């Protein structure tokens, strides 16, 4: 058999295998292991690929006072990743034994005692209001470290705290977003905003865990269980419909982006890469809800 025909046949077989695996994940809502994921995409599990092209700058909103995400840094001695983010500094190397790494700077691990103390009384309740224990324990949470492209096209660090059941999903999703140079203005722990969800949204901060109720209700949000992520929330607001026919947009400064028939940067819809990746991992999108629309919101109910 000619070499060109053999290569073409191998490429077809590989494409069929990849399609079958992705279809299975979409139907069952499960995830590959980090090793399987790295092997599937033909990369060592500890190697982050270089961007495919030079990022093109996009117009960004006026700078605001917010927690600072530092650029990615490598230790020139050993290639180890160093960080100045709050969660990364507090965890340090204390959880290295339990760290699950997909690629350089893309990993998840348990919360250290220092990080637990930092979030307690802010995003995690110190004492429950009704005298009951919180619906999730600190042992059930994971710290996730990623890289992302900011609105200026620069590589920046990001971090989230999530339910351990979706930690692998998030590492894989954000890694694919990074490989495709998807823009996220900032990805910082909501504790840097004193646990204030509105302040975080106004600053267009992508976030996950925050032990709080659904806005305007007494029901716990999926964020309180670490099972929901809000992506670029200023450009993808939460919209509720009032009995008088009016709408309430949150954050309020995102009102200009409530009309989803308009075209603008950073809009999440069903053609958006972010939507495709999250739904492939078994998440549902708040933009498909009927009673309200939460265009920033992806949540998952683990099997």
Strand partners for 220: 213
pLDDT-based confidence at 266, cuts 50/70/90?
A: very high
CA distance 178 to 50: 10
pLDDT at 118: 98
Helices (H), the chain: 3-28, 34-40, 86-91, 113-119, 167-179, 197-202, 273-280
pLDDT at 47: 41
- Span 91-143, pLDDT tens digits: 999 999 999 999 999 999 999 999 999 999 999 998 766 677 899 999 999 99
CA distance 6 to 14: 12
Of 250, 145, 140, give the one whose Cα is nearest residue 196.
Answer: 250
Q: Which residue has the higher pLDDT, 66 or 118?
A: 118
Q: What is the pTM of this model?
A: 0.77
CA distance 192 to 199: 10
pLDDT at 215: 75
pLDDT-based confidence at 84, cuts 50/70/90?
A: confident
Backbone angles phi, psi at 72, to 5 degrees: -65, 140
3-state secondary structure 53-110: CCCCCCCCCCCCCCCCCCECEECCCCCCEECCCHHHHHHCCCCHHHCEEEECCEEEEE
pLDDT at 52: 35
pLDDT-based confidence at 254, cuts 50/70/90?
A: very high
Judged on CB neighbours under 10 Å (0-12, 13-18, 19+), 1 is: exposed
Q: Is the dihedral of CA 277, 280, 286, 291 positive or negative?
A: positive
pLDDT at 158: 98
pLDDT-based confidence at 83, cuts 50/70/90?
A: confident
CA distance 55 to 155: 10
CB 186 within 8 A of CB 204: yes
Of 172, 221, 145, 146, give the one whose Cα is nearest residue 30.
Answer: 172
pLDDT at 38: 53
Mean pLDDT of 163-173: 98
Cα angle 151, 45, 231 (rounded to 5 degrees) comes to 30
pLDDT at 58: 35
Domain boundaries, the chain: 32-49+67-299
CB 106 within 8 A of CB 175: yes
pLDDT at 127: 74
- From the CB of residue 202, how many other CB atoms can be counted at a distance below 10 Å? 19
Mean pLDDT of 41-60: 38
pLDDT surpassing 90 at residue 161: yes
pLDDT surpassing 90 at residue 152: yes
CA distance 72 to 146: 10
Q: Which residue has 């350089």 as its token pair?
A: 104
As separate numbers, helices (DSSP H) first and strands (DSSP E) second, the chain gives: 7, 14
- Span 202-250, pLDDT tens digits: 999 999 999 998 877 778 999 999 999 999 999 999 999 998 889 999 9
């Amino acid at each position: 058999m000619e070499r060109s025909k053999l290569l073409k046949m191998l490429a077809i077989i590989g494409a069929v295998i990849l399609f079958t695996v992705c279809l299975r994940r979409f139907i069952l809502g499960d995830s590959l292991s980090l090793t399987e994921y790295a092997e599937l995409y033909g990369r060592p599990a500890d190697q982050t690929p270089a961007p495919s092209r030079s990022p093109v700058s996009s117009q960004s909103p006026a700078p605001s006072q917010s927690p600072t995400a530092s650029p990615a840094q490598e230790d020139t001695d050993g290639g180890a990743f160093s960080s100045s983010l709050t969660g990364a500094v507090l965890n340090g190397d204390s959880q290295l034994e339990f760290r699950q790494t997909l690629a350089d700077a893309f990993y998840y691990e348990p919360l250290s005692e220092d990080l637990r103390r930092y979030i307690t009384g802010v995003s995690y309740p110190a004492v429950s209001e009704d005298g009951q224990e919180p619906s999730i324990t600190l042992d059930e949470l994971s710290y996730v470290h990623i890289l992302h492209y900011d609105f200026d096209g620069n590589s920046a660090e990001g971090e989230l705290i999530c339910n351990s059941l979706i930690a692998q999903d998030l590492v894989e999703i954000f890694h694919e977003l990074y490989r495709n140079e998807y823009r996220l203005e900032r990805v910082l722990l909501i504790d840097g905003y004193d646990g204030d969800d509105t302040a975080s949204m106004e600053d267009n901060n992508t976030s996950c865990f925050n032990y709080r109720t659904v806005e305007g209700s007494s029901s716990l949000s999926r964020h309180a269980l670490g099972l929901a992520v809000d992506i670029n929330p200023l450009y993808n607001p939460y919209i509720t419909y009032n009995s008088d026919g009016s709408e309430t947009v949150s954050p309020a400064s995102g009102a200009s982006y409530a009309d989803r028939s308009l075209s603008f940067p950073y809009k999440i819809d069903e053609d958006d890469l972010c939507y495709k990746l999250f739904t492939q991992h078994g998440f549902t999108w708040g933009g498909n809800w009927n009673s309200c629309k939460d265009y920033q919101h992806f949540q998952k109910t683990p099997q």
